[in-house]
């Protein structure tokens, strides 16, 4: 009897041992997890550091007739990217250049395994070139920068640091604009204020295309199908957490600007019409105002004629009134035409750009499912 009780006791102890966590860990060959917040914090910190060092950076640089300064730009860019300690790719989008830009880009691609080159079939514009770069970029973050060295590549490590701290967008705001005329500076200042006044999308003032975008921001932008693209407005429209860094814009090092006054005017109209219906409403309000003014003017003349028997010379008044109303009508038709023209372009569904060639960087990893 005593021996039977002893055997039952040993079985019970064995069952308790089998059910204990230490026994299960030993059977699985796993060391028990220590309940130390210090060790947990160290593990998380190490994981974050390893994850950050493995993240790929993509740099997108649209180029149009920039052959003379590309080698200097690329040298400065690579020096800045090496400071970050990250793997990277540099995507040059040749927007139908007519100088030696294409030849220089192909030479860079042969010499530097981090360089990718996309050639457009013709000149489609900077907005299309930036869009193509965002479509082709594989990085966990994408940096947009002009190749004229007005936006210093040396600021890239600071941008990456802010991204590592959790920002989805790093906006580079121009504190000064060296080498630009007072007229261009004033018109740029006025444009940002007018845009924010008429548009429901608030766009940061005094910023260009120089910025860093996280992968999820890039994917959000790539979902937008419109053909009339005003990228500064699109960057603002998608939102996400943004941090602003102020910097001094440099003087253009080589070549001349490709943005004349006519092109800047079209660009401003493109932005306002693409992000606001206020011009249409203003035409309506101006028409109503002219109609009310004409009515009051008619009542005034009628009163003078009926009650005061005053003869009124009507021809000059008629001419002035006709000219004013004609100008208002033509302006309203022009505003309406801007919107109708954009509807026509969108309805055709043509691609925003056509690639003649694309040569990916030899160092770029295979795209994963992000």
Give residue-wise pLDDT tens across range 240-266: 888 888 888 877 766 666 666 676 777
Give a yes or no: residue 337 inside a domain: yes
Model-wide pTM > 0.85: no
* Cβ(192)–Cβ(205) below 8 Å: yes
Q: Same structural domain for residues 328 and 229? A: no
Give a yes or no: residue 242 inside a domain: yes
Q: Same structural domain for residues 138 and 162? A: yes
Give a yes or no: residue 267 inside a domain: no
Tokens of 130: 């930036």
* Cβ(23)–Cβ(52) below 8 Å: no
* Cβ(226)–Cβ(346) below 8 Å: yes
Give a yes or no: residue 342 inside a domain: yes
CATH number at residue 160: 3.90.550.10
Give a yes or no: residue 366 inside a domain: no
d(CA 153, CA 90): 12
Residue 71, pLDDT score: 87
Q: Same structural domain for residues 19 and 80? A: no
d(CA 153, CA 148): 10
| Number of domains the chain contains | 3
Residue 369, pLDDT score: 36
d(CA 352, CA 121): 12
Give a yes or no: residue 268 inside a domain: no
Residue 331, pLDDT score: 77
Q: Are strands 207-214 and 141-144 parallel, antiparallel or unpaired?
A: antiparallel
Q: Same structural domain for residues 62 and 42? A: no
Residue 353, pLDDT score: 87
Give a yes or no: residue 368 inside a domain: no
* Cβ(88)–Cβ(81) below 8 Å: yes
d(CA 275, CA 238): 13
Q: Same structural domain for residues 168 and 74? A: yes
Q: Same structural domain for residues 10 and 69? A: no
Q: Same structural domain for residues 134 and 210? A: yes
d(CA 316, CA 301): 14
| Domain ranges, residue 25 | 2-49
How would you class 328 by CB atoms within 10 Å of its CB: exposed for 0-12, middle for 13-18, buried for 19 or more?
middle
Q: Same structural domain for residues 123 and 148? A: yes
Give a yes or no: residue 367 inside a domain: no
Residue 39, pLDDT score: 41
Q: How many CB atoms lie within 10 A of CB 60?
A: 28
329 in helix, strand or coil?
helix
Q: Same structural domain for residues 61 and 44? A: no
**Ranges in the chain, pLDDT < 70:** 1-53, 177-182, 253-261, 263, 267, 271, 274-275, 305-306, 308-317, 320, 364-370
Q: Same structural domain for residues 112 and 253? A: yes
Q: Same structural domain for residues 150 and 39? A: no
92 in helix, strand or coil?
strand
Residue 256, pLDDT score: 63
Q: Same structural domain for residues 317 and 338? A: yes
């Amino acid at each position: 009897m005593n021996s039977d009780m002893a055997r039952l006791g040993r079985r019970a102890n064995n069952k308790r041992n089998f059910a204990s966590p230490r026994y299960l860990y030993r059977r699985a060959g796993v060391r028990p997890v220590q309940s130390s917040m210090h060790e947990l914090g160290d593990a998380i910190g190490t994981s974050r550091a390893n994850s950050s060092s493995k993240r790929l950076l993509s740099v997108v640089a649209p180029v149009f007739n920039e052959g003379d300064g590309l080698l200097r730009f690329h040298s400065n860019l690579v020096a800045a990217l090496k400071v970050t300690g990250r793997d990277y790719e540099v995507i040059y989008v040749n927007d139908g250049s007519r100088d030696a830009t294409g030849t220089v880009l192909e030479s860079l691609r042969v010499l530097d395994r981090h360089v990718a080159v996309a050639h457009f079939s013709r000149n489609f514009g900077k907005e299309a070139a930036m869009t193509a770069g965002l479509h082709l970029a594989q990085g966990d973050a994408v940096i947009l920068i002009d190749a004229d060295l007005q936006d210093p590549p040396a600021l890239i490590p600071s941008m990456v640091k802010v991204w590592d701290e959790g920002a989805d967008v790093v906006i580079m705001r121009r504190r000064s604009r060296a080498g630009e005329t007072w007229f261009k500076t004033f018109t740029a200042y006025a444009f940002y204020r007018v845009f924010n006044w008429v548009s429901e999308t608030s766009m940061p003032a005094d910023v260009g295309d120089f910025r860093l975008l996280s992968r999820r921001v890039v994917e959000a932008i790539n979902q937008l199908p419109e053909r009339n693209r005003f990228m500064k407005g699109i960057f603002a429209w998608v939102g996400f957490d943004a941090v602003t860094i102020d910097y001094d814009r440099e003087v253009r090092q080589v070549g001349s600007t490709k943005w004349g006054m006519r092109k800047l005017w079209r660009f401003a109209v493109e932005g306002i019409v693409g992000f606001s219906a206020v011009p249409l409403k203003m035409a309506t309000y101006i028409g109503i105002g002219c109609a009310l003014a004409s009515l009051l003017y008619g009542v005034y003349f009628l009163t003078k004629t009926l009650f005061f028997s005053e003869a009124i010379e009507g021809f000059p008044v008629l001419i002035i009134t006709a000219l004013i109303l004609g100008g208002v009508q033509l302006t309203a038709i022009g505003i309406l035409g801007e919107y109708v023209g954009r509807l026509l372009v969108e309805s055709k569904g043509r691609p925003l750009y056509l690639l003649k060639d694309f040569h990916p960087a030899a160092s770029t990893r295979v795209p994963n499912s992000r």
